[in-house]
């Protein structure tokens, strides 16, 4: 094969080029609108904004994680799905890498064509968070799990 019999240094360059490219490319096509960094769901005893159904902390300080705060009593899969949709939208339009946002969501209506399987995924995430030990979350107490957001936006 011509490729194999070529100069070994050329093969090495090709290998390094492929390795560099693989690190630059997103790991799946669906991650085009997924935010960078960790996405965390936290069930908390009290939201920082009363009457909110969820509070999205985009690039929260000090870690830079994206955190979705939900009430540990009454959190719904729709509220989680809406917050994840909001996160994707904010990540897409934000062009200031150091800016953070606090976004209280006070009301939402889910798309009518939302699939039952998508709701099941969100409910499983809430269940998974609820199974975690209660720990300190900010200045309060809660439970949390980390989620790869791109797996939830398909």
Partner 1 sequence: MCATRWILVLAPALALGVACAEPVAVSKAPATLDVNIPTLALSAGTVAISSRADTMPDGPARRRAASFLSAADGSEGLPPEFSVAPAIFRYSSYSGFFDYQGGSNALGEGIMEYFASHARQTIGVSVFKGGQQVGTGRGVQEKPHFLPYFYSLASSAYVPLGSSCGFDVNATTQHEAWHQVPMPGPWSGEWMKNVSTSHSQQARQPQCTREERDVKEGGAGGDSRIQQDEWMICRFEFWHDQYGREISRRLLYCTDL
Binding residues for partner 1 (CB under 8 A): 14-15, 18-19, 21-23, 27-28, 40, 42, 48-49, 51-52, 55, 57, 60-63, 67, 81-82, 85-86, 89, 96, 98-113, 121, 124-125, 128, 132-133, 135-138, 142-148, 151-152
| Nearest to partner 1 of 73, 117 (CB atom) | 117
Q: How far is the CB of 46 from partner 1 (least distance, A)?
A: 12
Q: How far is the CB of 8 from partner 1 (least distance, A)?
A: 16
| Nearest to partner 1 of 6, 106 (CB atom) | 106
Count CA within 13 A, CB hemisphere, residue 130: 14
Q: How far is the CB of 22 from partner 1 (least distance, A)?
A: 3
| Nearest to partner 1 of 37, 48 (CB atom) | 48
Question: Are the CB atoms for 102 and 111 separated by under 8 Å?
Answer: no
Q: How far is the CB of 48 from partner 1 (least distance, A)?
A: 5
* Angle (CA) 27 119 105, round 5°: 85
Distance, in Å, from the CA atom of 151 to the CA atom of 154, rounded to the nearest integer, reads 7
Question: Are the CB atoms for 91 and 34 separated by under 8 Å?
Answer: yes
Judged on CB neighbours under 10 Å (0-12, 13-18, 19+), 118 is middle
**Phi and psi at residue 85, to the nearest 5°:** -65, -40
């Amino acid at each position: 094969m011509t490729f194999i019999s070529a100069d070994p240094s050329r093969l090495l360059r090709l290998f390094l080029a492929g390795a560099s490219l693989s690190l630059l490319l997103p790991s799946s096509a669906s991650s085009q609108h997924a935010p960078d960094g960790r996405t965390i769901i936290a069930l908390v005893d009290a939201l920082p904004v009363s009457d909110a159904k969820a509070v999205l902390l985009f690039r929260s300080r000090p870690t830079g994680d994206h955190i979705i705060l939900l009430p540990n009593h009454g959190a719904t899969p729709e509220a989680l799905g809406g917050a994840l949709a909001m996160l994707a939208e904010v990540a897409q339009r934000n062009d200031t890498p150091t800016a953070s946002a606090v976004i209280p969501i006070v009301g939402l209506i889910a798309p009518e064509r939302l699939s039952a399987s998508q709701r099941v995924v969100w409910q499983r995430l809430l269940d998974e968070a609820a199974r975690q030990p209660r720990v300190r979350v900010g200045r309060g107490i809660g439970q949390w799990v980390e989620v790869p957001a791109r797996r939830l936006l398909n």
